[in-house]
Amino acid sequence: MKKIVLFVAVLACLSAAAAPAGEKVIALRASCNAAANSTLGQFLTFFVNEVNGRAGGRVQATANYGAELGTQPEQVEMARGGSLEMVVAAPGTGPGTWVPQLMMFEFPYLFKDNAHYRRMLKAVEGEVSRLVQPYGFIAMGGVSQGSRHMLTVRPVGKLEDLAGLKMRGPNAVYISMFRALGAAGTTMDWNEIYTALQTKVIDGMEASPSMINSMRFQDNAKNLAITNHIIACAYMFFNQKWFDSLPADLQALIRASVEAAVEHQQRIDDADQDLSLEAMRKQGVVVREMPDIDKWVAACQPMLDEYRAKGAQWSGFIDLLLSVK
């Protein structure tokens, strides 16, 4: 990880060395809580390199990964306060602190497939930006992190096997889902999961194969239930004051670099999901399809009415997400 960060920093310095004489180099400090080798980490690395390559030394972009700068909420606060210019974060566990309906991006059995989910992310980007603007952010570059499954210490072969298991989830929607499925949910930072599984503080967690494999969570849990319960995402959240201060050509350069990074992430994430699942099998993970998946879907269906009942902001945002076909 440190080698990748150093490599990005060296590229940035070389780019900065070519800055026009007398022109101040603009810093773009960015971070994400995913590992550098994850597809989300590679998404950030690609973006940073793209900016440095296009900017001709006018911008010095650097990146941090994992818990180098703290938890995801701490990184989001840094971007809000100006210690970072951009953070890659899941909407629900990032700016969702202030705009809780953004947790609806990660809701069980709401979207048909990954292609549908990606169309939705692009279609609603403007509304996400509008919602986070009062808290100092601009949202760009929504990317899917793939369909999620449940990794557990003891085998789960049907819904009833989940009963009583203590499962990690990133926000309140996940906790509601686990309750509906008969499990006990608990929240903790992404970078605390490995030790929590190792010490049996939790019985399991959930994520896409790529995300699980990037952190080697399978070292401590050898059962993967294929549930496809949620597709998760991340956006780039830029400090709005910083972005608005840029000249128009650099704003356009940033947006073009974001678009290029999104295309790159989509290509590598699709491939890495299959590769990661196969790697986990080879490492002794037992992968089980759920023969009663209809029961999982039915158990979660009442949640939608529960979340609509939270108020007009929630129901309106739900309608917006569901309007994208």
290 contact partners, CB below 8 Å, separation of at least 6: 157, 158, 159, 225, 226, 227, 296
3-state helix, strand, coil in the chain (%, to 5): 55, 20, 30
> In sequence order, what are the residues at sequence separation of 6 or more whose Cβ sits closer than 8 angstroms to the Cβ of residue 165?
152, 154, 156, 183, 184, 203, 204
Q: Is the pLDDT of residue 11 over 90?
A: no
Q: What is the pLDDT of residues 125-179, one digit of tens each?
A: 999 999 999 999 999 999 999 999 999 999 999 999 999 999 999 999 999 999 9
Q: Pairing between strand 26-32 and 59-64?
A: parallel
- How many H-runs (helices) and E-runs (strands) does the chain carry? 13, 11
**149-152 and 204-207 beta bridge pairing:** antiparallel
Instruction: Report residue 289: phi and psi, to 5°.
Output: -75, 150
Whether pLDDT at 272 is above 60: yes
Contact 5, 64 (CB under 8 A): yes
CB atoms within 10 A of CB 256: 13
2-17 vs 39-55: helix axis angle to the nearest 10? 10
- Residue bearing tokens 């023969």: 291
> Is the pLDDT confidence value at 18 over 80?
no
Q: Using CA atoms, how far apart are residues 219 and 198, in angstroms rounded to an integer? A: 8
Q: Is 71 exposed, middle or buried (0-12, 13-18, 19+ CB in 10 A)?
A: middle
Q: Indicate if 149-230+278-323 has the same CATH topology as 2-90+113-144+232-274.
A: yes
Interval 98-119: pLDDT, tens: 999 999 999 999 999 999 999 9
Give the per-residue pLDDT at 22: 66
In CATH, the architecture of 149-230+278-323 is 3-Layer(aba) Sandwich (3.40)
pLDDT surpasses 50 at 4: no
% of the chain residues with pLDDT over 90: 92
Task: Please state the pTM of the whole predicted model.
Answer: 0.92
Instruction: Please give the CATH architecture assigned to the domain spanning 2-90+113-144+232-274.
Output: 3-Layer(aba) Sandwich (3.40)
What integer best gives the mean pLDDT of the chain? 94
Grade residue 15 by pLDDT with cuts at 50, 70 and 90. Answer: very low
**Residue 201 buriedness (CB in 10 A; 0-12 / 13-18 / 19+):** middle
Q: What average pLDDT score do residues 88-106 get?
A: 95
pLDDT of 10 > 90? The answer is: no
Would the pLDDT of 296 be above 80?
yes
Q: Each residue of 174-221: pLDDT tens digit? A: 999 999 999 999 999 999 999 999 999 999 999 999 999 999 999 999
pLDDT of residue 23: 81
Find, among 214, 210, 206, 230, the residue nearest to 271 by Cα: 210
**How many CA atoms lie less than 13 Å away from 22 in the CB half-sphere?**
0
pLDDT of 19 reads 58
What is the domain partition of the chain in residue ranges?
A: 2-90+113-144+232-274, 149-230+278-323
